[in-house]
Amino acid sequence: MSTRPPGDRIFLHGLTTECIIGFIDWERRVRQTVVLDIELPVDCRHASLTDAVADTLDYKQVAKRVLAYVGASEFRLVETLAHRVALLILEEFAVEWVRVALNKPGAIRSSRDVGVVIERSRADLPAAAAARAPAAGGGS
């Protein structure tokens, strides 16, 4: 069961692109299809009154940014790609949390797809920034 509060949500289902994903040698050379489902908390009340995109989250902009990022990415694990997509959304769009489901169709024989579902919140940003920072005093 989700720990997220009830409320309005915007979602993107079936966002499909190709990237380098996997740890087997051939996977490092061939772009593979990944499919993302993204869920974002958005209070839709004001936008429903004004009928103006400026008063809501522009999901087209989210989709374009995620597709560009994933298409240019090269990761070994779907876990890493999903995590990085979640952080990207949190850093660039004004949302409190994000749920990302990332599927890799055909990755396992006899399975339609495999993947992960993750949730990240703004509270995860400082730890992520610290993990990406270079180690102090490591110069040569």
Please tell me which residue in 78, 104, 115, 120 is annotated as part of the active site: 104
**Whether residue 104 lies in the annotated active site:** yes
CA gap 90, 109 in Å, rounded: 34
- Are 116 and 78 in contact by the 8 Å Cβ rule? The answer is yes
For residue 108, the SS3 value is coil
Q: Which residues are catalytic?
A: 104
